[in-house]
């Protein structure tokens, strides 16, 4: 694997040390390691171990500088052919997140801090998988950042045991104890409470020295001065040494009798505790955050409440005054460390998460259209599943068309868009994109190709998004298809897009629908009620296309004449349609001598599929039932007039298309502009009856 880690700087610190340790492990185990940071003292160690380093100002909270870094980091990702981009801090995470878009690299974060719930921190919870060093941080990310529980991976930080296995020096006639605190000089680390506790210890045990390892950032040197003043006020200046940042921490810990961690806020982990335990040093720590994952109170260390100098002093005095107890704490801590917190354990678990991330794929198909158009997408869904058998595939559909795909075996779930209702608007679309982001989609295939769908694809922040370059905000897509044909059937049109993903169309395109046993039982009961349960010679006629497209409808008098013609040939007829088509049914019944069975408004889409399945032949204008019949493999006669059959015909093996082409057709107008309706009226009942006769034997 090719792993690229991004962090602010590479100076001394737990995050920085962990990055270097992991980088060395990756190289030693045959992986390619790259690190991007603003540089620092550890760069030389990193490069000496075989990791390539790039220097970028990924530490600065400057909007325009971050935008520049996105472009630069994306170039590095592509140049290094990175598989994984691992961000370890918030500014680098923002840069890495957008740099990964349009590349093949997967994005992941490690949450090293107990971040405030601010917009700036939200990016740490956006990846598909999130590494947390403690259970406290994991709960925090779920409760305050919307991270899903199945996206959290708990990997505690580690320590290179061999690095800290320094031989503890034997000092003849030693008459003093050393108490050490390691960490940046910042109020969050609780140094003031530590010093007050040490003042109490010094009064009881004058023979102690106190080492403060770490320094304040350049902008906060005043805090260091405050601590130095406090040592004088407490009268312990002769015991305290401010050692600053040190590279010989293992050697200093080897001379330490007890390490104290006095953090007053939710500590993400507490790596220094592991370093002390690796060196055989007993630890006293405040009971905050991830510290409780490391220390079992009274067994592998002592825990005290934060901001409690008295409790801290009492715990330190107990350890220093009881050598046997101190040795028991150190021994138990070392054993737990070997089992849970070694570098090998952390790195191997991280590699497993990397592999899981690379092997997981979340795909979204956008098709918010009407019911018939959603039926037309089923062939593409099957092709996607065959290409990505292990992927999680979802489809965004409209509320009215959701039933089409509710039993689809190629999908892992449906996401319902109800923004087409009365309260529709861009605000609701943006809210929908917030829902979509939680799925952490890697790929989005936009078969809707509207401004809204392109915006949704963009705001969902996938690694890749596919759609047509049709001028409808298609610049928001990472992979817009520029050269494509519009004069081909819809399913072929979809496969133009899928081919850019390496998906070739099958030899025979086919639609599918999946009515349930319950749907088929319901249809059987409907047919039984009309004395059709055992009839095999059934022809279905769809009475209308839609209220909007009156020009698609075959004249009612033609349908009535066809019913009588078929009745004369001992063929039973059933009529399908929607509730709104009742008036057309009344006109039909007034014109026919036969008695067709009426099922208008009595089925949903899957029940309709089960009903059409029972027909020997189905007759319909260009409408959703046309696609349903094709999906159910029912032989059909399709009428086209105002629309072009070459663009809207479904793939079907036994389909006869009747299409008259007057000079005005196809007009794509919902109203006949010349008031003749010739394109549909010229399709005669006798002609249709002849086509039906030829299809009756096409299906056993």
* DSSP characters over 474-531: GGGSSEEE-S--SSS-HHHHHHHHHHTTT-PPPSS--------HHHHHHHHHHHHHTT
pLDDT digits (tens, 9 = 90+) for 549-565: 888 999 999 999 999 99
Q: How far apart are CA 558 and CA 428, in angstroms?
A: 45
Look at the domain 517-695 and name its fold: Rossmann fold (3.40.50)
The predicted pLDDT at position 163 comes to 79
The full length of the chain comes to 700
User: Which residues, listed in sequence order, are joined to residue 87 by a DSSP beta bridge?
Assistant: 6, 109
Q: How far apart are CA 197 and CA 315, in angstroms?
A: 10
Question: 207: which 2 tokens?
Answer: 């023979």
Prediction pTM value: 0.76
Q: 547, 580 in Cβ contact below 8 A?
A: yes
The predicted pLDDT at position 171 comes to 56
Q: 466, 363 in Cβ contact below 8 A?
A: no
- Give the whole-number percent of the chain exceeding pLDDT 90: 70
pLDDT digits (tens, 9 = 90+) for 588-622: 999 999 989 999 999 999 999 999 999 999 999 99
Answer whether residue 63 shows pLDDT above 80.
Answer: yes
pLDDT digits (tens, 9 = 90+) for 445-485: 999 999 999 999 999 888 889 999 998 999 999 999 999 99
Q: What secondary structure does DSSP assign to 143-181, as a single string?
A: HHH---GGGEEE----B-HHHH-PPPP--TT---EEEEE
Return the half-sphere exposure (C-beta side, CA atoms, 13 A cut-off) of residue 232.
Answer: 4
Answer whether residue 172 shows pLDDT above 70.
Answer: no
Q: How far apart are CA 625 and CA 207, in angstroms?
A: 92
The answer to whether domain 173-340 has CATH 3.40.47.10 is: no
pLDDT digits (tens, 9 = 90+) for 214-272: 998 877 889 999 999 999 999 999 999 999 988 888 899 999 999 999 998 877 677 88
Rg (CA), the chain: 36
The continuous run of DSSP H or E covering 652 comes out as none
What's the rounded mean pLDDT across residues 77-99?
A: 95
Q: How far apart are CA 130 and CA 125, in angstroms?
A: 7
The predicted pLDDT at position 169 comes to 60
Q: Which CATH number fits domain 2-154: 3.30.2270.10, 3.40.50.10190, 3.40.50.2300, 3.40.50.2000?
A: 3.40.50.2000
Buried b (16+ CB within 10 A) or exposed e, 454-466: bbbbbebbbbbbb
- Give the whole-number percent of the chain exceeding pLDDT 70: 97
The predicted pLDDT at position 146 comes to 80
Q: 609, 512 in Cβ contact below 8 A?
A: no
Contacts 24+ apart (CB under 8 A), 65-68: 66/91, 66/94, 66/95
- Say which CATH class 361-499 falls into: alpha beta
What's the rounded mean pLDDT across residues 328-352?
A: 91
Nearest alpha-carbon partner for 639 in 513, 555, 567, 548: 555
What's the rounded mean pLDDT across residues 630-645?
A: 94
Region of 432 on the Ramachandran plot (φ > 0 left; ψ -120 to 50 alpha; else beta): alpha
Answer whether residue 425 shows pLDDT above 70.
Answer: no
Same fold, 2-154 and 173-340: yes
Q: Determine the 3-state secondary structure of 457 from DSSP.
A: helix
Assign 161 a pLDDT band (cuts: 50, 70, 90). confident
Assign 423 a pLDDT band (cuts: 50, 70, 90). very low
The predicted pLDDT at position 126 comes to 86
pLDDT digits (tens, 9 = 90+) for 277-308: 999 999 999 998 888 888 999 999 999 999 99
Question: 251: which 2 tokens?
Answer: 């050697």
Domain limits of the chain?
A: 2-154, 173-340, 361-499, 517-695
Q: How far apart are CA 280 and CA 298, in angstroms?
A: 16
């Amino acid at each position: 694997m090719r792993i690229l880690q991004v962090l602010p700087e590479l100076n001394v610190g737990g995050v920085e040390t962990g990055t270097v340790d992991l980088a060395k492990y990756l190289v030693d185990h045959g992986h390619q390691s790259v690190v991007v940071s603003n540089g620092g003292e550890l760069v030389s160690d990193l490069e000496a171990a075989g990791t390539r380093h790039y220097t970028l100002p990924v530490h600065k909270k400057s909007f325009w500088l971050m935008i520049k870094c996105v472009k630069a980091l994306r170039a590095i990702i592509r140049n290094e052919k990175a598989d994984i981009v691992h961000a370890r801090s918030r500014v680098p995470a923002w840069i890495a997140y957008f740099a990964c878009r349009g590349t093949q690299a997967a994005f992941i974060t490690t949450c090293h801090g107990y971040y405030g719930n601010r917009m700036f921190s939200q990016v740490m919870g956006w990846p598909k998988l999130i590494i947390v060093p403690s259970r406290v941080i994991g709960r925090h990310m779920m409760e305050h950042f919307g991270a899903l529980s199945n996206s959290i991976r708990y990997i505690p930080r580690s320590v290179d045991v061999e690095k800290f296995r320094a031989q503890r020096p034997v000092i003849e006639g030693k008459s003093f104890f050393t108490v050490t605190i390691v960490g940046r000089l910042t109020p969050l680390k609780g140094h003031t409470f530590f010093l007050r506790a040490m003042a109490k210890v010094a009064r009881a045990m004058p023979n102690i020295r106190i080492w403060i390892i770490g320094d304040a950032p350049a902008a906060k040197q005043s805090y260091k001065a405050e601590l130095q003043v406090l040592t004088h006020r407490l009268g312990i200046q002769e015991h305290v040494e401010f050692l600053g940042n040190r590279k010989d921490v293992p050697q200093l810990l080897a001379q330490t009798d007890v390490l104290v961690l006095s953090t007053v806020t939710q500590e993400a982990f507490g790596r220094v505790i592991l370093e002390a335990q690796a060196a055989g040093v007993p630890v006293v720590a405040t009971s905050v955050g991830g510290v409780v994952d490391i220390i079992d109170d009274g067994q592998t260390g002592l825990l005290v409440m934060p901001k409690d100098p008295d409790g801290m002093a009492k715990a330190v005095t107990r350890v220093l005054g009881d050598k046997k107890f101190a040795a028991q704490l150190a021994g138990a801590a070392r054993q737990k460390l070997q089992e849970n917190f070694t570098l090998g354990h952390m790195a191997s678990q991280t590699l497993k998460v990397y592999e899981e991330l690379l092997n997981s794929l979340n795909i979204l198909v956008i098709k918010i259209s009407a019911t018939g158009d959603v039926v037309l997408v089923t062939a593409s869904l099957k092709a996607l599943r065959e290409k990505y058998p292990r992927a999680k595939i979802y489809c965004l559909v409209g509320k009215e068309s959701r039933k089409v795909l509710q039993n689809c075996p190629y999908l892992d779930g449906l996401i319902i868009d109800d923004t087409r209702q009365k309260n529709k608007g861009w605000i609701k679309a943006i809210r929908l994109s917030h829902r979509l982001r939680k799925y952490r989609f890697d790929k989005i295939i936009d078969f809707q190709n509207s401004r809204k769908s392109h915006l949704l694809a963009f705001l969902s922040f996938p690694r890749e998004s596919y759609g047509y370059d049709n001028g409808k905000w298609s610049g928001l897509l990472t992979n817009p298809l520029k050269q494509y044909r519009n004069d081909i059937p819809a399913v072929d049109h979809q496969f133009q897009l899928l081919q850019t993903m390496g998906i070739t169309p099958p030899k025979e395109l086919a639609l599918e629908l999946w009515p349930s046993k319950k749907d088929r039982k319901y249809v059987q009961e409907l047919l039984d009620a009309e004395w059709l349960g055992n009839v095999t010679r059934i022809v279905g006629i769809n009475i209308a296309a839609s209220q909007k497209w009156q020009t698609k409808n075959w004249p009612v008098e033609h349908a009535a004449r066809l019913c009588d013609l078929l009745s004369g040939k001992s063929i039973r007829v059933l009529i399908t349609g929607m509730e709104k088509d009742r008036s057309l049914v009344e006109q039909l019944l007034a014109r026919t001598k036969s008695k067709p069975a009426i099922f208008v408004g009595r089925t949903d889409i899957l029940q309709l599929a089960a009903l059409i399945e029972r027909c020997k032949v189905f007759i319909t204008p260009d409408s959703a039932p046309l696609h349903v019949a094709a999906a159910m493999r029912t032989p059909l006669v399709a009428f086209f007039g105002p629309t072009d059959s070459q663009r809207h015909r479904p793939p079907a093996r036994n389909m006869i298309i009747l299409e008259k082409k007057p000079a005005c057709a196809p007009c794509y107008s919902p109203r006949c502009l010349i008031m003749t309706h010739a394109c549909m009226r010229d399709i005669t009942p006798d002609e249709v009856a002849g086509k039906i006769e030829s299809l009756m034997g096409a299906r056993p």
